[in-house]
Amino acid sequence: MHYCTATLLVLLFSPLALAAQEPAQDEPSQNNNSLEKQKLKLEVLRKSLNQASQQRNEHSTRLESLKHRLDCNWSLIQAYESCEARLQNDPKGQLRCKQQAKRDAAACLGEN
């Protein structure tokens, strides 16, 4: 009878023992899934960072271009004022001076 009882106990508890071992076998799989998810998130973050960096570089380039144009235009304004102040009584001289200022501004803007 002990042999039958022992056999029954083994048969009854074997599925429980196997079930208890299954999560342990799934843990590496779950860890791999978690690791894969983390790798995917990291890749998405890396792509976002690269995109943001590229956009920042493009914005910096545009900003430098705008700054250069602003400097050229400011120089033109100052040149016009200088022409008017220096050549108050010489309208033809003012015209020549302002035309030169325009050429200088066009050259300045062409540098960019």
For the chain, 112 residues long, give each residue's pLDDT as a single digit of tens: 555 555 545 555 555 454 555 444 556 667 778 999 999 999 999 999 999 999 999 999 999 999 999 999 999 999 999 999 999 999 999 999 999 999 999 999 998 6
Q: Which domain holds residue 87?
A: 50-112
CB 85 within 8 A of CB 103: no
Contact status, residue 73 vs residue 65, Cβ threshold 8 Å? no
Which residues, in sequence order, are CB contacts of 100 under 8 Å at separation 6+?
Answer: 79
* Number of neighbours of residue 56 by Cβ within 10 angstroms: 10
Task: Report yes or no on whether pTM surpasses 0.85.
Answer: no
* C-alpha closest to that of 13 among 2, 25, 5, 24: 5
Q: Is-contact 102 76, C-beta < 8 A?
A: yes
Q: Is residue 67 part of a domain?
A: yes
User: Is residue 35 in a domain?
Assistant: no
pLDDT at position 28: 62
The answer to whether residue 5 sits within a structural domain is no
Q: How many CA atoms lie within 13 A of 112 on its CB side?
A: 17
Tell whether 57 is covered by a domain. yes
Please give the tally of structural domains in the chain.
1
The answer to the question of residue 25 being in a domain is no
- Encoding tokens for residue 93? 């001289």
93 in a structural domain? yes
